[in-house]
């Protein structure tokens, strides 16, 4: 028995005769009749009662056709699953981030992806720079949004948008009266930095930019928790513009008006990634960021 025999069987049952079924299937009547007879011989009973007016299903034949239609439906479902997965229309994307997806342009990019690909599940993990690199290598993450100064060597990547730096100040701080600040404004200030034991990229980047005399205080904390410390008067924090769009009690934001007070966010991934959904995500982010003029 072959799958095509079940197809022939269902078409004959629907047409009620071999001639019409043979025409629809592009076969001659004798070939179709022979395949049906072989199937009946294999099953050990007659599927059809034949007469001059056509064919009619026997009681056993009705049961066979019912099951054959179920098999055909399952085969079509399997084909559909294969098509969706093979085209990247379904699956899962595991995205790593360091900057919260709370403002533009990051939020707009993932929102556009969600609108275009609602059947692909997107999960997000917020990790340190080194942990993201390790998770990409171990395939625990598929893609990451990573700051340009935190990229690891030989990463497969491209820039997707640019961020401007802002400073987060405790309400009432003397810098609040300025419309913008410069790097020299941080002299003798305490700067709160996100950092973990094996992740110092952010601190090294800011040390190269800031005036001498700035003091760094590392915290193994999220961006939101760090801003909570700013509001409590523990120090200042440098944040990207999308974070400065948040309303945090006790915190005010001012832009840093220096020509080098910006950085690119890159999309990075493992070259071993072979999921069609990952490939589609990478291509979508590249095309969307270019279409929106982000890079």
| Domain topology for 91-290 | D-Maltodextrin-Binding Protein; domain 2 (3.40.190)
Task: Look up residue 181 and give its DSSP letter.
Answer: B
Tell me which of 1.10.10.10, 3.90.25.10, 3.40.50.970, 1.10.1240.10 is the CATH number of domain 3-86.
1.10.10.10
Tens-of-pLDDT digits for all 295 residues of the chain?
A: 888 888 888 999 989 888 888 998 899 989 999 999 998 899 899 998 888 778 889 999 899 999 988 888 888 877 776 665 555 567 889 999 988 888 888 999 999 999 999 989 999 998 888 888 889 888 899 999 998 888 887 788 999 999 999 999 999 999 999 999 998 888 888 999 887 656 566 777 777 777 667 788 888 888 889 999 999 999 999 999 988 988 999 999 999 999 999 999 999 998 776 788 898 999 999 999 999 988 7
Contact of 92 with 121, CB cutoff 8 Å: yes
Residues composing the chain: 295
- Domain residue ranges of the chain, discontinuous segments joined by +: 3-86, 91-290
Contact of 63 with 248, CB cutoff 8 Å: no
The CA distance from 110 to 101, in Å, is 8
Angstrom CA distances, 265 to 41, 53, 98, 282, stand at: 68, 74, 10, 14
For 274-284, b/e burial (b = at least 16 CB within 10 A) is: eeebbebbbeb
pTM metric for this prediction: 0.67
Token pair in block for residue 259: 């020509």
């Amino acid at each position: 028995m072959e799958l095509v025999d079940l197809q022939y069987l269902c078409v004959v049952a629907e047409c009620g005769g071999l001639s019409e079924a043979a025409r629809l299937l592009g076969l001659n009547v004798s070939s179709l009749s022979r395949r049906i007879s072989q199937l009946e011989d294999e099953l050990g009973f007659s599927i059809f009662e034949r007469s001059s007016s056509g064919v009619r299903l026997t009681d056993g034949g009705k049961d066979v056709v019912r099951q054959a239609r179920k098999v055909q439906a399952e085969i079509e479902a399997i084909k559909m699953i294969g098509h969706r997965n093979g085209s990247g229309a379904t699956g899962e994307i595991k995205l790593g981030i360091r900057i919260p997806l709370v403002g533009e342009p990051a939020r707009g990019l993932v929102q556009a992806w969600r609108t275009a690909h609602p059947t692909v599940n997107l999960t997000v993990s917020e990790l340190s720079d080194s942990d993201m690199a390790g998770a990409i290598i171990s395939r625990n993450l598929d893609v990451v949004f990573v700051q340009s100064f935190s990229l690891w060597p030989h990463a497969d990547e491209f820039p997707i948008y640019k961020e401007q730096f802002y400073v987060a100040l405790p309400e009432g701080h003397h810098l609040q009266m300025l419309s913008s600040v410069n790097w020299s404004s941080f002299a003798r200030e305490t700067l709160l930095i996100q950092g973990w034991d094996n992740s110092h990229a952010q601190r090294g980047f800011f040390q190269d930019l800031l005036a001498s005399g700035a003091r760094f205080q590392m915290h193994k904390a999220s961006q939101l928790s760090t801003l909570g410390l700013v509001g409590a008067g523990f120090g200042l924090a440098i944040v990207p513009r999308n974070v400065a769009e948040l309303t945090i009690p006790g915190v005010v934001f001012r832009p840093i008006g220096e020509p080098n007070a910006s950085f690119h966010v890159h999309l990075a991934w493992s070259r071993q990634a072979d999921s069609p959904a990952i490939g589609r995500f990478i291509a979508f982010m590249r095309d969307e960021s270019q279409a929106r003029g982000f890079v």
